[in-house]
Amino acid sequence: MTIRPTVWRKRGSLLLVFAAALAIASVQVAAQAPYPNKPIRIIVPYPPGAGTDFTGREIGALFSKALGQAVVIDNRGGAAATIGHALGARAAPDGYTLLLGTTGGLVSGPALLGSKIPYDPLKDFATIGLATYVPYAIAVTASLPANNVKELIDLARASPRKLNVASPGVGTPNHLGAAQLMTLTGIEIVHVPYKGTALVYPDLFSGQISIMFDTLSVAIPFIKAGRVKALGITGAKRAPALPEVPTIAEAGLAGFSADLWLGIWGPAKLPREITDKLSSDIAKLLKLPDVRERLAAQGMEPVGSTPAQFAEFVRRENAQWSKVVKSAGVKAE
């Protein structure tokens, strides 16, 4: 029997309609599936080995346990953390790509670069929750003849521009912490930017580099092993992991504030129900005694917040770091 072409066309049209209906049904089923139903990526805007990377992996492991999905850490360092933050801003707003946002990419970087930065830190992201504060240690080469912050200031004042301070890049919080110290005390120290803190340590051990502001989470093993000396920490109180190291405020610099903070963000159009779920989950996780103990051992202070509290915190931080950049005269390369 011969089937006329018109019959084929009708059957073909019906098949197309059926296929389209199946596709729509699949999308609807996927949309109705509870979040999350596949692995989640967390962008860490620093290279492996940085303090931010350690925190990102800790939070990733916590999220994986709480959400029942694999969490993949995607390190995207460079340009004072702005590369990774820009990638986070452009991600699909579905909750499957998140950003471990930092002081560097969301307040100090924008304060330094202004309109040149490829995203708006207040408009292009959805705040989810503040995760941790991570104080910096003023770490110096073991041979430096200074054993506290006052002696360091006196040494730098006696020999202007003879000492140097390393950072993982111009405009990073590490750099601006050092710049703030110079502004408050009037000392002159030469800034040497590197491409990541892991690259600094061999030169700090050898004495080629005199000073580095680094997160406690990275510096603690080297401090405890005697490879470097910790002269002070930037937190408001002494760190439980290094109770013998005084705060910078104890050295008489009461106006000094340069903690690194880390939080979870999504792209701006992230649905509110996903934002609220993630914020609630991370706040609960950060209250667990074993989690708090593990983070504290690495020099981190667990926080947790609502999205609204985090957004207000970021606005205050933007104002503070803009003042630091202006008063220190820091310029982008």
Residue 112 shares a structural domain with residue 70: yes
62, 201: one domain? no
Select from 3, 48, 51 the least CA-distant residue to 260. Answer: 51
Residues 122 and 265 in one domain: yes
Confidence (pLDDT) at 167: 92
pLDDT value of residue 58: 82
Task: Give the pLDDT score at 30.
Answer: 45
pLDDT band at 4 (very low <50, low <70, confident <90, very high): low
Maximal C-alpha separation, the chain: 104
Which residue among 224, 251, 278 closes a domain? Answer: 251
- Section 8-22 average pLDDT: 46
Residues 140, 246 share a domain: yes
Position with higher pLDDT, 215 vs 91: 91
Between vectors from CA 88 to CA 38 and to CA 95, what angle results, nearest 5°?
30
Using alpha carbons only, give the angle 168, 174, 178 rounded to the nearest 5 degrees: 120
DSSP string of 163-213? SEEEESSTTSHHHHHHHHHHHHH----EEEE-SSGGGTHHHHHHTSS-EEE
Phi/psi-derived region of residue 185, left when phi > 0, alpha when psi is between -120 and 50, beta in every other case: alpha
Helix (H) or strand (E) holding 40: strand 40-44
pLDDT band at 21 (very low <50, low <70, confident <90, very high): very low
- Supply the pLDDT for residue 191: 96
Q: Do residues 142 and 124 both lie within one domain?
A: no
Average pLDDT over residues 127-137: 91
- Domain presence at residue 12: no
- Domain of residue 227, CATH code: 3.40.190.10
Band of residue 26 on the pLDDT scale cut at 50, 70, 90:
very low
Same domain for 114 and 62, yes or no, is yes
pLDDT per residue over 246-292, tens digit each? 999 888 887 787 778 889 999 999 999 999 999 999 889 889 898 88
pLDDT confidence of residue 279 = 93
Closest CA to 113 of 258, 330, 324, 316: 330
What mean pLDDT do residues 226-234 have?
Answer: 95
pLDDT at 301: 87
Tell me, what's the pLDDT at 46?
83
pLDDT of residue 226: 96
Whether residues 221 and 293 share a domain: the answer is no
Average pLDDT score over residue span 67-91: 89
Residue 292: both structure tokens together? 């708090």
Exposure on the CB side of residue 308, measured as CA atoms within 13 A: 0
- Check pLDDT > 70 for residue 96: yes
Calculate the dihedral angle through the C-alpha atoms of 204, 227, 105, 328, rounding to the nearest 10 degrees.
-60
Mean pLDDT of 21-27: 45
Contacts of residue 319, defined as CB under 8 A and 6 or more positions apart, other chains included, come to none
Percentage of the chain with pLDDT > 90? Answer: 47
Q: What pLDDT is recorded for position 17?
A: 44
Tally of domains in the chain: 2
Window from 29-33, 48-52, 117-121 with minimum mean pLDDT: 29-33
Angle, vertex CA 40, rays to CA 39 and CA 42, nearest 5: 145
Residues 174 and 224 in one domain: yes
What is the rounded distance in angstroms from the CA atom of residue 197 to the CA atom of residue 138? 13
pLDDT band for position 161 (50/70/90)?
very high
The pLDDT value recorded for residue 38 is: 95
Q: Domain holding 302: CATH number?
A: 3.40.190.150
For residue 16, tell me if it sits in a domain. no
Domain closes at, from 251, 282, 299:
251
Lowest mean per-residue pLDDT among 55-69, 121-135, 227-241: 55-69
Region 68-85: what's the mean pLDDT? 88
Last residue of a domain, one of 251, 280, 301: 251
Give the model confidence (pLDDT) of 168-189 as tens digits: 888 888 898 999 899 999 999 9
- 77 with 176, same domain: the answer is no
Report the SS3 class of residue 217. Answer: helix
pLDDT bracket for residue 52 (50, 70, 90) = confident
Cα separation of 42 and 53, whole Å?
10
What's the token pair of residue 304? 């947790």
Instruction: Tell me the average pLDDT of the chain.
Output: 85
> Domain limits at 301?
40-134+260-328
Q: How many other CB atoms are found less than 10 A from the CB of residue 41?
A: 16
DSSP 316-328: HHHHHHHHHHHHH
Does position 14 have pLDDT exceeding 70, yes or no?
A: no
pTM comes to 0.76
Alpha helix (H) ranges present in 38-108?
51-67, 82-89, 103
pLDDT for the residue 333: 64
**pLDDT value of position 326:** 82
121 DSSP 8-state letter: T
Report the pLDDT value the prediction gives residue 51, as an integer from 0 to 100: 67
List the structure tokens of 318.
Answer: 């933007």
